[in-house]
Amino acid sequence: MAVILHVDMDAFFASVSMRRRPELRGTPVVVGGYPRGVVLSANYEARAYGIRSGMPSGRAKRLCPELNFIDPTYDDFSSVAKGIVAVFQTVTPIVEAASIDEAYLDLAGARHRFSSPYAIGEYVRAMVCDEQQITCSVGIGPSKFVAKMASRAAKPDGLIEVPPARVADFLHPMPVDAMFGVGPPTAEKLHRLGIRTIADLARTPPGALRQTFGPHLSHQLVELAWGRDRTRVVPAVPERGVGSQETFGSDTEDPTVVRRELLRMAAKTARRMRRAGYLGRTVTMSIRFADFRTLTRSTTLPNPTDVTDEIYAAALALLDRLGLDQARIRRVGIKVGGLVPAERAERQPFLDDPEFGWREAERAVDAAVGRFGPKAVQRAVLAAPRNWVAAMGAPGQSDPDRRAHQPK
């Protein structure tokens, strides 16, 4: 019999963001932009007001006038997520990251120093709290579905183990609305059939559901009502691309604003690549317009890179080819693909390359930012007034021999 452990971070984005703002603990907090934007995550104090992920920020503020907003710091989220997965992998190599804030662990591959699945769950919770200063909830069961349901019931900051003999006792008192994978439309159809609880569903012959849900879903619903889920824990495949995107506070047709944001996205993307240990050759630039049309353009570089200026220059060249004068732009993004591990990447050197260049300089900046925070070292143009961007132009445009000015 399989033993699956499901770990779900408690208000992950809000919890990670509040590590830098400890004075906000105990107050309602959301991660997201204001006044324009949506709620990315809400802590439990904010959820008490009915605030949920995906809600427009303006509506959240009306529900809770004293609500505090924190801008998302995606590098922090990624770094914490990787640290958490590293904890999981000390338990078992069979780890499936369902999203950035939850994962399944198949304990069939667990190390043998733990006395029981419950002890593994407590170890994971303690290590995540100690190393990342955030809490998580853990569910343990004989299938992925039961483990997921158990972690939901354990929230926040709890652990529930459901042995095989107690699956029905655990699931059947719950409303069908609580089933993972059953959204409001499916729940409404079940209610119309007189099915209110998971016990009602378990006792319903699949044939009675077939007309409403079809043969496949009817069978699956009844199987899940008994906790039977044959899906396996599948370790994730390596990342195929690294990217960043940003929605403007208001639609803009100012090319200096668009250029500056592309530079910011290039810097974020390059930093994430360096942290992950990858270089890439394919740069993709995306533009979303005010009417929600989206354009993407890609180019392939002669050498793989993780250098901000090289990524930015490629994205800016793609932007210039589009000729978007007077177009109102809502969002910009950059993604780098064609990833190769940095230690295996081969770059064709230039004869006049200095011994130490922009890669070394940016790694030094990464170290300073990691120690002192995201604003410890910034490019002047990203911290300066908007009119600086126009003077900057694309890398190499204002200085035809830019490599002569690389850090020595």
How does pLDDT run across 121-159, given as a tens digit for each residue? Answer: 999 999 999 999 999 999 999 999 999 999 999 999 999
Contact (CB, 8 A) for 118 and 203 = no
366 is in an annotated binding site: no
Positions annotated as catalytic residues are 102
Q: How far is CA 82 from the centre of its chain?
A: 11
Lowest mean pLDDT among 179-188, 208-217, 233-242, 365-374: 365-374
pLDDT band at 356 (very low <50, low <70, confident <90, very high): very low
CA distance 62 to 179: 31
76 is in an annotated binding site: no
In 3-state terms, what secondary structure has residue 118? helix
State the CB neighbour count (10 A cutoff) for residue 289. Answer: 15
Reference 330, options 265, 268, 246, 260; nearest CA is: 246
Per-residue pLDDT, averaged over 351-358, amounts to 49
Question: Going from the N-terminus, what domains does the chain have, and what CATH number goes with each?
Answer: 12-74 (3.40.1170.60), 172-225 (1.10.150.20), 241-405 (3.30.1490.100)
φ, ψ dihedrals at 68, nearest 5°:
-100, 135
Per-residue pLDDT, averaged over 370-386, amounts to 59
CA distances from 298 to 85, 258, 335 (A): 32, 17, 9
Per-residue pLDDT, averaged over 311-322, amounts to 92
Cβ-based burial of 308 (10 A; exposed 0-12, middle 13-18, buried ≥19): buried
DSSP letters along 273-306, please?
HHHHTEEEEEEEEEEEETTS-EEEEEEEEEEEE-
Per-residue pLDDT, averaged over 17-42, amounts to 90
Q: State the alpha helices, DSSP H only, in 277-386.
A: 308-322, 358-372, 380-383
Is the whole-model pTM more than 0.85?
no
